[in-house]
Structure 1
Amino acid sequence: MTNSPIDAGAGPIGLYERMGERATQPFAIQLLDQLMPLDGLAVIDVASGTGGLAVAAAERDAWVTATDISPDMVARSAERLRSFKNARAGVMDFRSLGTAGASYDIAISHFGILAFPTWRLGLDELLRVTRRQGRVGLTMWTQEDDCSPAHLMRRVFAQLHPDRELWPAGMFPTFSQDELRESLLEAGCSTANIHVAQADWSPYSSPDVVSECDPMFRGFPGYAALSPDEGENLREALQQAFNGYADAQGIIRLPTRAFMIVAASG
């Protein structure tokens, strides 16, 4: 972990915090609302990114541990959590968390473990570190239609390039509510409540939405591999797709949708 401040406005860490949290943080607040009260409870946030949910949990007086496999992400989380005496951050792999079993009242992975093909290992670890009668909270995009800006991009990309993949196979597995519930119960949860939550996403500038999202989309291999002409064609199609969600004033409001999961450990 670095001792110097992390520039939240530069590089991939700044991009993740500025753009990624813009789409995911409304769901973090909804999930924490379902888990309230948090006062004095030990909470671990697994695959925590730059710490948006962890900060919100610390503000609600939980004792928070934010973990991520990326040292840079953890450094940024630690910086944001520095003012909370009840919070810390550390580098951990969600497939094998470096913490004792039954250490936490609540284990959360917000748009984290369910995005990876190894999500079952992550789920097992969440349950291992959760105390008996504790709770597990999870969120993940529904993967249906234009449920996030990235999924709108995927739809447009597939229309123009049906023979190519936007992101690596195995990333962002597709679930149904029944499949998620069955997996949680099989892993050892006694109950699993799941519903689809919604939040509106708007870019900072609707006329410049494609330029605004471009740095984020360049993280997808399929997009990064486009030729200049292909990229220009895709950006034009993206602008049209985003404009389909504009209101009478031209403000884009994309209704994002995610699974919201709260389960009880056995």
Structure 2
Amino acid sequence: MYDPQVFFDDPFSATIYVRRFVLSVWEEWMGHELADIHDGELADLLKHSGSKAFEHHAGEDSKILMDYQRMADTSHRIRVHKRAVKAISWAFRNDAKDNKQSEREEERNKQSDREEERRAWSILEEKLSLLEAQLGEWMGMFAQRASMAEALEANRQARSAGQLTKLATVAVPFSIVAAVFSMGGEFAAGQPLFPVFWAITLPVTFVLLLWVIHGNTITVWWKKKTQRKGREVQRVWNVLGWRLSLNVSAQPDEEKGE
């Protein structure tokens, strides 16, 4: 008895077990690599979902660069492995075409086995291409997220500068008035009015701080409130207009009845 996979007229068929072992090793590595990329992408998406999507970007620019460099290294490693798989496929003669059209049973079996092996290596190359494309899309999404985080940070700094300007606009005049009221000697005429100054300054300062800290929330709440009132007023006007139209349409009928 002899192995049906080994053909005596083709010495290269003796390497069938070695080729299948190499193929199984590459398929196992491919499965682990695809699983790692999928898990990493899923963890990244979960980390950047919800209301705290960009919270971790604050003050961690170096970490972002390290993560991006790690993905770039992974992409380079995948390209190297892709070239290695292609070289192995060439070495195993998977791209070679058999021009002999023999009708013998063992020749047909040999050709079918070679075609199956070619398809297996072709599928492996397609998986590598898919892995490379998936990683490229992930890196593109990462770069877009970094740009959005930078835009949000610039917007936040601009809002902070605007809030400081608002505080300075009110605080500077108050400080000047306080300095005038607190003068002594011949400038002490306004000293009895100093409690009045504090009675006005403290509430105004408190309202200003509240507006600066929670200005966006207050603005959104006020808009919702005015929109709700506007809808209620519109509804009342619609009801009144409907009733007026009914009264106007009923008056000619009453006159005809009289």
Scaled by the length of structure 1, the TM-score of the pair is 0.21
Give the structure with the higher percent helix.
Answer: 2
Higher radius of gyration, 1 or 2:
2
Scaled by the length of structure 2, the TM-score of the pair is 0.22
